[in-house]
Structure 1
Amino acid sequence: MTGLDAFTDVLDYPMYAVTAAAGGEQAGCLVGFASQCSIHPPRFMVWISTANHTYRVARRASHLAVHALRRDQGRMAELFGGRTGDDIDKFGRVAWSPGQGGAPVLLDSCAWLVGRVEGRAEGGDHVGFLLAPVTQSPPGPVRPPLLRLSDVMGLSPGHPA
């Protein structure tokens, strides 16, 4: 056990698909380390593993898209969390459109935001991307149950965490 296990073992945070585009390349991964981190100005922080193909694209991207997934989107979680863009074209398997800065917006997500990368923070094996929201999905008619950590515990990652 690490120094955080007793605390983090009780958490069941939402999972997000994060996408990026830079230099003619697209990438996306499943992340659990993400949160709003400021109200004024509005900011959202998303942490990406340095082992991920997505990290290599995101560090060159001007914008990232963050997607909340519904609990019934296990297949999308498997695609973005269990597969690596080093081996497959994830975007050939989902409906998407280019957002601001070219960030791919996943059309089937229940909510999304595209944020301009304002800064980065080293965090060990993950790097945090501080995002200033520039566009977001319109509000939905209902708040669906979100995909959570407990829903993807059996998922084998495309890259080691």
Structure 2
Amino acid sequence: MIDQETFVELMSGVCAPVTVVTATAADGRPHGSTVSSFASLSLAPPLVSFALDRSSRLLPHLPPGAPVGVNILGAHQQDLASKFARRHQGPGSKFDHVTWAIRTGLPYLPESAGWTAGRVERHVDGGDHILLVVSVEEAESTPTPPLVYARRTFGTHSGLAVAS
């Protein structure tokens, strides 16, 4: 088995989309966290997935059956990605001084490159993380360039060059 440092270094070179996953607590407060493990899982039925650390404060608000939103951040939203990545903030405080709205009952960041909402279908054990499988009920995309994360840096991409 490889050591953790080698694995982290390998995975840091993989470009990942940057999203803010959101939920609404039973008391109505918004919750959200930056997530870079968002992926398409299935077209029929439409499913997406993402992973949360077992110690995530968002995870208790996303049991199977719970509604969940995924804001796919745009290249201009690096500050939001950093803000929602911070731990140990009070409930709802990540949304302070942020432009957001409620859409289908979920916290929504309207300047994002894309949005999807659905329900958590199931949790899958993933070592120190839990993989959440989500049934997609709503989706929207825009022409805004997406924010990506690789080599511990935020960026975006332009048209792909043809390999020779």
**Matched residue type, 1:99:** R
Instruction: Report which of the two structures shows the higher radius of gyration computed on alpha carbons.
Output: 2
After TM superposition, give the deviation of residue 87 of structure 1 in Å.
6.2
Q: 1:13 aligns with which of 3, 11, 16?
A: 16
**Matching of residue 144 in structure 1 with residue 145 in structure 2:** yes
| Cα pair 1:80 1:90 within 8 Å, conserved | yes
- CA offset digits 1:64-106 (Å, max 9, x no partner): 1111112221110111002444366122322222233x32111
Query: TM-score, normalized by length of structure 2?
Result: 0.78
**TM-score w.r.t. structure 1 length?**
0.80
In the other structure, the counterpart of 2:71 is 67
SS at the partner of 2:22?
strand
1:48 aligns with 2:58: no
Q: Which runs of 5+ in 1 are unaligned?
A: 153-161
* 2:147 pairs with 1:116: no
The answer to whether the aligner puts 1:131 opposite 2:126 as a matched pair is no
Is the Cα contact below 8 Å between 1:53 and 1:86 reproduced in 2?
Answer: no
Structure 1 residue 38 displacement after superposition: 0.7
Q: CA RMSD in A?
A: 2.2
Q: Does 1:103 align with 2:106?
A: yes
1:47-79 deviations in Å (ceiling 9; x for gaps): 111212111222377111111112221110111
Q: Are residue 77 (structure 1) and residue 81 (structure 2) matched?
A: yes
CA distance in 2, matches of 1:88, 1:14: 23
Gaps of 5+ in 2: 155-164
Mapped to 1, the partners of 2:46 and 2:38 lie a distance apart of: 14
What amino acid maps onto 1:109 in structure 2?
S
Deviation sequence 1:116-143 (CA, Å, 0-9, x none): 1111111122111111111122x32x25
- The verdict on how the C-alpha distance between 1:61 and 1:103 changes in structure 2, with shifts beyond 3 A counting, is farther
Partner secondary structure for residue 123 of structure 2: strand
Instruction: Tell me, yes or no, if the aligned pair for 2:70 and 2:116 is still in contact at 8 Å.
Output: yes
